[in-house]
Amino acid sequence: MIRHMFKLIWNRKRRNYLLISEIFFSFVVLFAVSTFALFTGIRLSEPLGFDYEDVLVVQTNYEDAQQTDSLSEREVKDIMATMERELRSCREVVDVAWGSSNLPWAGSMWRTSYIYDGIERDYSIHYVSDHFADVMTMPLLEGRWFNADDDAAAITPIVINRKVCETTFGDKPAIGQIITDDDDETPVDFVVIGVVDEYRYRGEMEVSEPSIFFRRTHEDSLTLYAGTALVKVRPDAGVGFQKTITDRLAEISHGWIIGVEALEDARNESLRNIKINALPGVIVALFLVFNVALGLFGILWYSVSRRRGEIGVRRAAGALAAHISWQIIGEALVMATFAILVGIILAIQVPLLDIQPQISTAIYLLAMICSSLMIYMIVAVCAMYPSRLAARIQPAEALHDE
């Protein structure tokens, strides 16, 4: 029976060309939407590598303030240290750390290339203080985080994330490996002292990238200063505490503070923007699929009324009502199969040509399966009513009408 349907649709391919094309375009749109949805879903379910809850971000504009107020480097560092002491004195504060401006969801990146084993690779770099891992609840896979012992280190210590291990060291143990910066005349070596898991600081939608953490203290040069404070607060701190911090630090710093924001709010804002950006695509996809469904429904209905004679003959030859019903649904599914096959040939080019390296082949394959199933479901639902109409056709009437 299935072969019979394939023959029938193949022989009617010219008549069904437009409908098959329409289903094909729907498949392509659904494939794009499914890929995005699966990619997003998987990204959202993967660990970020840190905890954003109960963390406040205190942004300072020390660089501008330094110029305006003609403060010396020493004075700036002293004010920073005083701010930290003030924060730590608050009952609501659990811990305080400092970081460079490319903090989670800050929308800022800092990339550079270093050499390992003669090969230059790109890394995302982060300047952070000794308490950064505690404030951000970043578990260490190996080694240790920065501490005061590193003040006397002969080689600059670095902490890396797992991605660096995978991309740079392969199977070799990471601790003790040396990465070199040879941008300047005198190459500078960095030694790995610790490995954290992930650090997806650009948010859930971004893949994990190789990240290297460098240690910064209040005594370091202001050139590469970690000037944004991260404050871990108690869960009961409340929203009002942000205002308290703003006021108290503004007093100490003579107005350096430009904003205090919960890290969770920054995350929610980022997710909201993703949803807003995705909305037009989803609306267009739904509109197209709805149009295809309507078109398909209309064409199948019309086709049933045009094929009354054929249905009458089939009934006369012994077809049960269920056979006729299945014939109509089956033919629609066969048309969908032709459209999906062409769609898959096109869709498979995306992973083959590596158009979006961030998205794995498995996601593309899953998206192909999902969009195929959705197309089959839509087509079957659209064919349901026309197929019931066809099954109700009385053979004597149908043959007489012809």
Partner 1 sequence: MIDLTHVEKVYRTSTIETLALKDINLRINPGAFLSIMGPSGSGKSTLLNIMGLLDDPTGGQVQVDGQQIANMKDDEMARLRNRRIGFVFQSYHLINDLTVVDNVEMPLLYRKSTSAERRQKALAALDKVGLSARTRHFPTQLSGGQCQRVAIARAIVGEPQIILADEPTGNLDSVMSDEILDILMNLNKNEGTTIVMVTHNQQMAEKTERIVRLCDGSQVD
Kindly tell me which residue out of 71, 274, 321, 344 binds partner 1, with binding defined by CB under 8 A: 321
Kindly tell me which residue out of 310, 348, 365, 381 binds partner 1, with binding defined by CB under 8 A: 310
Sole window of 28-36, 45-53, 273-281, 319-327 interacting with partner 1 (rule: CB under 8 A): 319-327
Site for partner 1 in 157-216 (CB under 8 A): none
The reply on whether position 315 binds partner 1 by CB under 8 A is yes
Q: Minimum distance from CB of 338 to partner 1 (Å)?
A: 15
The reply on whether position 306 binds partner 1 by CB under 8 A is no
Using the structure block, give the residue that is written with the tokens 């505490």. 241
The reply on whether position 402 binds partner 1 by CB under 8 A is yes
Kindly tell me which residue out of 148, 317, 345, 353 binds partner 1, with binding defined by CB under 8 A: 317
Q: For residue 135, what are the CA distances in angstroms to 97, 138, 193, 343?
A: 7, 8, 19, 49
Torsion of CA 269, 274, 277, 280, to 10 degrees: -120
SS (H, E, C) 358-386: CCCHHHHHHHHHHHHHHHHHHHHHHHHHH
Q: Minimum distance from CB of 314 to partner 1 (Å)?
A: 7
Kindly tell me which residue out of 283, 320, 346, 352 binds partner 1, with binding defined by CB under 8 A: 320
CA distance 336 to 342: 10
CA distance 329 to 349: 30
Site for partner 1 in 380-399 (CB under 8 A): 394-396, 399
Closer of 74 and 306 to partner 1 (Cβ): 306
| 110 contacts: CB under 8 Å, gap ≥ 6 | 100, 101, 102, 124, 125, 126
Q: For residue 150, what are the CA distances in angstroms to 130, 146, 155?
A: 10, 7, 9
Kindly tell me which residue out of 312, 330, 343, 351 binds partner 1, with binding defined by CB under 8 A: 312
Whether residue 200 contacts residue 208, with contact meaning beta carbons closer than 8 Å, is answered with yes
Kindly tell me which residue out of 318, 345, 353, 357 binds partner 1, with binding defined by CB under 8 A: 318
SS (H, E, C) 60-77: ECHHHHHHHCCCCHHHHH
Closer of 78 and 397 to partner 1 (Cβ): 397
Contacts with partner 1 by CB under 8 A lie at: 1, 3-4, 7-8, 11-12, 309-310, 312-323, 394-396, 399-400, 402
